[in-house]
Amino acid sequence: MYNKKVLSIFQNPKNAGGMKGANGIGKVGNAACGDIMKIYLLIEDGIIKDAKFKTFGCCAAIASTDVACDLIKGMTIEDALKVTNKQVFDILGDLPPHKIHCSVLAEEAIKAAVEDYYKRLEKAEKKNAENDEN
């Protein structure tokens, strides 16, 4: 069902696990469909310094999330937002048609983590502005 590359990444994901100090966290999927992805980002000066993940799902879901994390490390936020599920799919080499949604979820998880980063940044800036007024 899966090619050797997908199986290899699934068996030895480099980016699995949570991250203390993450300043962007994106969670996508749902238990009903069977795949839940959570990506943790550490962003400094607009650059993604590190990316980790926790994924509950199938082999394709775990491999897709691991590849997505590798892809975005070292990228600017703007470039990370341009990462597509096709890029993830191409790196994996091939996914069964009914598993392509896993690469789509990986793309969505990146976007959700960046969105969370911006929300946290806005909240911190607002808090700092309020403190400056006092």
Angle between helices 85-92 and 4-11 (to 10 degrees): 100
59 a catalytic residue: no
58 a catalytic residue: no
- Nearest one of 121, 103, 129 to 41, comparing CA atoms: 121
Which of 33, 58, 59, 69 is labelled catalytic?
33
Q: What are phi and psi of 28, to 5 degrees?
A: -135, 165
Distance, in Å, from the CA atom of 81 to the CA atom of 94, rounded to the nearest integer, reads 23
Q: Give me the active site residues, please.
A: 33, 102
